[in-house]
């Protein structure tokens, strides 16, 4: 089955690649064969059920559906014969009989109407279906409307749900004319297990499924009723989905996924329906200055009415006060009394400017950002052993893998679009191994192995797996010899971790460990994905070292379908890190301790001396603030008053600052402590670049204006820089990008104009016209002699283990609908409606012991603090654990968390604290 196929299409000799359909060939030649149930976007399997694309094949009696038929050598196909045209028209006419009239269509610009128009069909002579046979409006979901009177049974929503997003919620019920899509067991959409990815809405060709924001009360709407559509990037997670933002009257009307390299048209609930936070009434629209007579600093400001604490100011005044405060501290106490937190929600250019602002303006490196709380330990281990902190392969490479480990990551909630590719991989027969103490509702059923091991015992489990691979000599000797160092010491070390002994620690049977080890080692191509369950421990770096060693042992790096992939979190955490928002390194991870690096930047930054001493990290900075050693801070797009561990401590620290400048889009908990608040722009209001988890540098295009007097972040940073005496003269993000290229080898061959043209370019990239590399290190590593390294890891217990006073384990994390500290998503109407209340999850048996019903309230207490929160019953949580998301200020998880740090990555142990759980009313039955 190779070689092109030649056939005749409408009298022309044409060629098809093997596997191409007649429809695809025609489409490629600019010929439009009508289509309804066929969606040419990637991921959609042609189904051939609607017969709207019929063509004639010479020698065949029946017309054929061109969307599924593959041409044969010498075939003669006619798309424009009278018979074919007539049949196609007839299909449309029959379907039209049951459509609402075009004037009252749910989507006046529906694909269906375009196809009808294309064929000149304006009315139908067929009888309409009796109204009582059609299901009524389903408006049970806040984000979507289901009007099945427009349904043509084309099955696209089913394929969207089952095959593209692999959520398996929609199915077809009944047969023939009475066949209609249903959710689960014919539940209302809003009560079903639908996760609101909206793929079905995007796929529906008639408007039967529509975004709620596009139809009116009468269910009439028009998807093309917008002023402008702008291609940009989703502002939420590190997957970096490309979106088309439809704008009407300067507001986002709705959002569609487009064919970006990471998302291939798909989106999740946040990317599709979570945009209206940018239009929320709480948006900061004017600079604010703390009033002289404001009460003490605390979490006591109402974002609705901040006038008790703040007053409006002009930009001139606010920038002057903000800059003067920092400059005064610098001259009285020295530059080191200032620190900065930059943002992984802002663009690369903004991150670059921010670190430059601190380094050049205050002559030190005390600048960090949320990567410290996130993958700092993974990056530490990757830098140490691989020589690069980024992923070695895109997550989409799973397409070429046979086996994939997902450890300490919950992608169906946190990287939902990546998860769709993982689920498709499993459906194709790929072996998915999940390692997570919490059972994963979304991915579990797709897993070949689901290892629900004891939290904090990753090293024990992984070392046991590697022990099997070493003892049974399943490792890839050739690879180890050619590309690694330290194997022999590692081999000796790993002998001390036999599965039988490790089973006692991690709770997974030795036989299962063996099975996984053998399968992973013997597979042709394996990938490892990991997340916060690995990194957010005091032994997070050791956890990652094990993952790296495991991949190296098996030679699962540098080939298609292999690789190490820490799933990056924030939309631009990869880019912000690359741009130098890290205290130890300059842009592109060039160490501040290296004099050549400092020389390079002295040159680019016109004489600026870079401090040779690595700066302080997030939690260290907060400690110095608490001790009064750091007196001023500039916080851009971060909310440490919610996201830092032991947050009461962080809040007390923030209250002590004599000068705090916060630049955000909302009056966050952190901004409540500010002296000056600068109103910034949200991502859909900016121009710039961001870099996703796949190392894809992508173009962010401004879709809507900033509200009120709010300004783009880069502009504010530049204005402040000038006021503290720096001679900056950037007047567009592209000038910043050009400067970044002077020191960042990673951006070679990636220019602003190329990004404008291509929207996305992966780094590293070998030429101006060559695509970047999805898989790297096939021919060696950016380390000494091109070799990656085995670094042995020992088993370390968590910093705080359960005892009599705190007998259970608290783990914290995320939920699909909410973003971190909630500042954005609790102000997004759909997301807030779906998940409105602070909650935690406990095993039903634990709840029973506590005497608390599901939905009742529990009190969680750790050595740091206590809070009350609603409890859900969830069998996926182990009986001795409680899972608490950190998005809710009224039950802020970080009041409870332990600030103990990993010694290498300096990341806190968000994933493990000892906790006491009681019924909130006080009559608790103590949990064992």
SS (H, E, C) 268-316: CHHHHHCHHHHHCCCCCCCCEEECCCCCCCCCCCECCEHHHCEEECCHH
Judged by CB under 6 A, the residue of 48, 190, 456, 632 near ligand MGD is 456
- Site for ligand MGD, residues 701 to 760, rule: CB under 6 A: 713
820 contributes a contact to ligand MGD by CB under 6 A: yes
d(CA 716, CA 605) in angstroms, rounded, equals 19
**What are the Cα distances from residue 190, in Å, to 183, 358, 725, 834?**
9, 48, 56, 9
Point out which span in 13-21, 309-317, 568-576, 713-721 binds Mo ion (CB under 5 A): 568-576
Q: Which of 407, 516, 834, 927 binds ligand MGD (CB under 6 A)?
A: 407
Nearer to Mo ion, 47 or 638 (CB): 638
287 touching ligand MGD, by CB under 6 A: no
Minimum CB distance to Mo ion, residue 779 (Å): 31
Which among 132-140, 291-299, 402-410, 591-599 is the span making contact with ligand MGD, rule CB under 6 A?
Answer: 402-410
Binds ligand MGD by CB under 6 A, chosen from 66, 99, 544, 570:
570
Answer yes or no whether residue 812 interacts with ligand MGD by CB under 6 A.
yes
H-assigned helices in 334-367:
348-362
Rounded Cα distance between 534 and 552, Å, is 18
Q: Taking CB within 5 to 8 Å according to partner kind, which of ligand MGD, Mo ion, none is near residue 643?
A: ligand MGD
- Asked if 707 and 232 count as a contact pair (C-beta separation under 8 A), the reply is no
* DSSP designation for 610: P
Asked if 684 interacts with ligand MGD (CB under 6 A), we say: no
Binder among 209, 534, 650, 869 for ligand MGD (CB under 6 A): 534
Of the candidate spans 44-52, 353-361, 367-375, 639-647, the one that interacts with Mo ion by CB under 5 A turns out to be 367-375
For 408, left (φ over 0), alpha (ψ -120 to 50), or beta? left
Q: Which is nearer to Mo ion, 374 or 552 (CB)?
A: 374
Residue with Cβ nearer ligand MGD (306 or 637):
637
Q: Looking at 190, 486, 533, 802, which residue binds ligand MGD (CB under 6 A)?
A: 533
* Residue of 863, 865, 869, 818 whose CA lies nearest to 841: 869
- Is position 370 an interface residue for ligand MGD (rule: CB under 6 A)? yes
Which position among 64, 374, 390, 710 is part of the footprint of Mo ion (CB under 5 A)? 374
764: preceding bond cis by omega (within 30 degrees): yes
- Find out whether 598 and 818 touch, Cβ atoms under 8 Å: no
8 Å CB contact between 843 and 910? no
Residue from 232, 355, 366, 410 touching ligand MGD (CB under 6 A): that is 410
- C-beta neighbour count of 908 within 10 angstroms: 26
The least CB distance from residue 39 to ligand MGD, in Å, is: 27
Identify what 832 binds: Mo ion, ligand MGD, none; CB under 5 to 8 Å per kind. Answer: none
Cα–Cα distance between 38 and 865 in angstroms, integer? 56
Q: Which pair of structure tokens corresponds to residue 451?
A: 């290892």
Query: Does 342 contact ligand MGD by CB under 6 A?
Result: no
Distance CA 508, CA 217 (A): 55
Nearer to ligand MGD, 25 or 842 (CB): 842
Among 265, 531, 707, 905, binds ligand MGD (CB under 6 A): 531
Which of residues 237, 245, 258, 873 is near ligand MGD by CB under 6 A? Answer: 237
Which of 192, 668, 689, 759: binder of ligand MGD (CB under 6 A)? 668
Handedness of CA 620, 622, 626, 627 (dihedral sign): positive
Q: Closer CB to Mo ion, residue 378 or residue 898?
A: 378
**What is the torsional sign of CA 591, 593, 598, 601?**
positive
Answer whether 255's CB lies under 8 Å from 33's CB.
no
Question: Positive or negative CA dihedral for 659, 664, 667, 670?
Answer: negative
CB 227 within 8 A of CB 203: no
Instruction: Closer to ligand MGD by CB, 64 or 284: give it.
Output: 284
Q: Which residue's Cβ lies closest to Mo ion?
A: 569
For residues 795 and 792, what is the distance between their CA atoms, to the nearest angstrom?
10
Q: Please report where in the chains the tokens 């190392």 appear, as a residue.
A: 695
Q: Which does 437 bind (CB under 5 to 8 A by kind): Mo ion, ligand MGD, none?
A: ligand MGD
From 313-321, 609-617, 623-631, 639-647, give the range in contact with ligand MGD by CB under 6 A. Answer: 639-647
Q: Which does 818 bind (CB under 5 to 8 A by kind): Mo ion, ligand MGD, none?
A: ligand MGD
- Residues sharing a CB contact under 8 Å with residue 608, sequence separation 6 or more, in sequence order: 359, 360, 601, 602
Residue 51 interacts with ligand MGD (CB under 6 A): yes or no: no
One residue of 569, 640, 645, 792 binding Mo ion per CB under 5 A: 569
Determine how β-strand 76-78 pairs with β-strand 5-9.
Answer: parallel
CB-wise, 119 or 450, nearer to ligand MGD?
450
In the complex, the smallest distance separating the C-beta of residue 643 from Mo ion, rounded to whole angstroms, is 9
| C-alpha dihedral (85, 88, 94, 99), degrees to nearest 10 | -110
Q: Residue 240 interacts with Mo ion (CB under 5 A)? A: no
Would you count residue 290 as binding ligand MGD (CB under 6 A)?
Answer: no
Give 717-735 as a DSSP string: HHHHHHHTT------SHHH
Nearest approach in angstroms of CB 878 to ligand MGD is 10
Query: What does 639 bind: ligand MGD, Mo ion, none (CB cut-off 5 to 8 Å by kind)?
Result: ligand MGD
> Judged by CB, which is closer to ligand MGD: 403, or 534?
534
- Please, what's the largest Cα pairwise distance for the chain? 92
CB of 256 to ligand MGD, least distance (A): 20
Regarding 392 and contact with ligand MGD (CB under 6 A), the answer is no
Is-contact 336 364, C-beta < 8 A? yes
Site residues for Mo ion per CB under 5 A? 374, 569
Site residues for ligand MGD per CB under 6 A? 237, 343, 345-346, 370, 373-374, 407-410, 413-415, 435-438, 455-456, 458, 531-534, 536, 569-570, 636-640, 643, 663-666, 668, 680-683, 713, 811-814, 816, 818-821, 823-824, 886, 893-894, 897, 910-911
């Amino acid at each position: 089955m190779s070689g092109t196929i030649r056939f005749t299409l409408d009298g022309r000799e044409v060629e098809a690649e093997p596997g191409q359909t007649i429809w695809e060939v025609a489409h490629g030649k600019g010929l439009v064969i009508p289509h309804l149930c066929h969606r040419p976007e990637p991921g959609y399997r042609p189904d051939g059920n609607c017969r709207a694309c019929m063509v004639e094949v010479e020698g065949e009696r029946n017309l054929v559906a061109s969307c599924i038929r593959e041409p044969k050598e010498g075939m003669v196909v006619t798309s424009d014969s009278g018979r074919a045209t007539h049949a196609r028209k007839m299909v449309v006419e029959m379907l039209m009989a049951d459509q609402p009239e075009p004037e009252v269509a749910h989507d006046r610009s529906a694909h269906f109407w375009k196809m009808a128009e294309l064929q000149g069909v304006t009315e139908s002579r067929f009888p309409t279906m009796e109204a009582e046979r059609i299901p009524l409006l389903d408006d049970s979901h806040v984000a979507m409307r289901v009007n099945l009177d427009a349904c043509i049974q084309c099955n696209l929503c089913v394929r969207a749900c089952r095959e593209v997003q692999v959520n398996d919620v929609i199915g077809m019920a009944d047969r023939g004319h009475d066949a209609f899509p249903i959710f689960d067991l014919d539940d209302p959409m809003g009560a079903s297990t639908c996760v609101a990815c909206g793929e079905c809405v995007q796929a529906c060709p008639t408007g039967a499924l529509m975004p709620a924001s596009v139809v009116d009360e009468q269910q009439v709407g028009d998807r093309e009723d917008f002023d402008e559509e702008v291609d940009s990037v989703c502002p939420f997670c590190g997957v970096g989905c490309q979106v088309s933002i439809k704008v009407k009257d300067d507001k986002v009307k709705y959002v569609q996924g487009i064919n970006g390299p990471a998302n291939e048209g798909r989106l999740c609930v946040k990317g599709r329906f979570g945009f209206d936070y940018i239009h929320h009434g709480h948006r900061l629209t004017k600079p604010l200055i703390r009033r002289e007579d404001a009460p003490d600093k605390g979490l006591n400001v109402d974002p609705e009415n901040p006038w008790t604490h703040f007053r409006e100011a002009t930009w001139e005044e606010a920038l002057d006060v903000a800059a003067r405060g920092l400059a005064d501290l610098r001259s009285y106490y020295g530059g080191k009394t200032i620190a900065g937190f930059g943002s992984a929600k802002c663009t690369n250019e903004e991150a670059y400017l921010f670190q430059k602002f601190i380094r050049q303006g205050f002559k030190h490196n005390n600048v960090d950002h949320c990567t410290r709380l996130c993958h700092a330990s993974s990056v530490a281990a990757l830098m140490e052993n691989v020589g690069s902190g980024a992923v070695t392969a895109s997550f989409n490479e799973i397409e070429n893998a046979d086996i994939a480990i997902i450890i300490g990551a919950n992608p169906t909630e946190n990287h939902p679009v990546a998860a769709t590719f993982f689920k498709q991989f499993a459906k194709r027969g790929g072996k998915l191994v999940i390692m997570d103490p919490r059972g994963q509702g979304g991915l579990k059923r797709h897993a070949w192995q689901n290892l629900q091991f004891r939290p904090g015992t990753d090293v024990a489990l992984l070392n046991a797996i590697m022990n099997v691979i070493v003892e049974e000599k399943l490792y890839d000797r050739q690879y180890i010899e050619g590309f690694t160092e330290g194997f022999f010491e590692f081999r000796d070390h790993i002998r001390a971790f036999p599965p039988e002994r490790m089973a006692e620690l991690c709770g997974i049977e030795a036989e299962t460990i063996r099975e996984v080890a053998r399968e992973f080692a013997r597979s042709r191509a394996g990938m490892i994905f990991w997340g916060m369950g690995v990194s957010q421990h005091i032994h997070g770096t050791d956890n990652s070292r094990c993952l790296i060693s495991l991949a190296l042992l098996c030679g699962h790096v540098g080939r298609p379908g292999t690789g190490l992939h820490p799933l990056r979190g924030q939309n631009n955490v990869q880019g912000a890190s690359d741009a130098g928002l890290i205290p130890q390194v300059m842009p592109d991870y060039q160490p501040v301790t290296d004099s050549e690096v400092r020389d390079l930047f002295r040159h680019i930054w016109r004489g600026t001396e870079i401090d040779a001493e690595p700066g302080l990290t997030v939690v260290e900075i907060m400690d110095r603030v608490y001790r009064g050693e750091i007196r001023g801070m500039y916080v851009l797009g971060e909310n440490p008053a919610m996201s830092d561990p032991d947050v009461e401590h962080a809040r007390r620290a923030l209250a002590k600052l004599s000068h705090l400048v916060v630049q955000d889009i909302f009056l966050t908990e952190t901004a409540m402590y500010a002296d000056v608040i600068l109103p910034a722009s949200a991502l859909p209001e900016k121009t710039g670049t961001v870099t996703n988890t796949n190392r894809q540098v992508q173009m962010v295009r401004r879709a809507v204006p900033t509200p009120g007097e709010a300004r783009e972040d880069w502009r504010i940073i530049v204005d402040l820089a000038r006021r503290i005496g720096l001679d900056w003269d950037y007047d567009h993000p592209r000038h910043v990008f050009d400067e970044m290229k002077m020191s960042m080898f990673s951006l070679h061959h990636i220019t602003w104009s190329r990004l404008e043209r291509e929207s996305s370019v992966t780094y590293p990239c070998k030429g101006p016209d060559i695509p970047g590399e999805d898989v790297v290190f096939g021919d060696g590593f950016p380390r000494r002699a091109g070799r990656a390294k085995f670094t042995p890891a020992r088993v370390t217990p968590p910093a705080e283990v359960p005892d009599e006073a705190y007998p259970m384990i608290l783990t914290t994390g995320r939920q699909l609908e909410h973003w971190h500290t909630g500042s954005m998503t609790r102000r997004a109407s759909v997301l807030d409606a779906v998940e409105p209340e602070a909650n935690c999850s406990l095993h039903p048996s634990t709840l029973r012991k506590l005497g608390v019903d599901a939905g009742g309230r529990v009190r969680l207490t750790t050595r740091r603090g206590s809070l009350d929160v609603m409890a859900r019953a969830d069998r996926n949580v182990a009986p001795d654990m409680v899972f608490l998301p950190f998005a809710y200020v009224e039950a802020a998880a970080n009041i409870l968390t332990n600030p103990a740090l990993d010694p290498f990555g300096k990341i806190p142990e968000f994933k493990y604290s000892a906790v006491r759980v009681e019924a909130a009313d006080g009559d608790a039955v103590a949990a064992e």
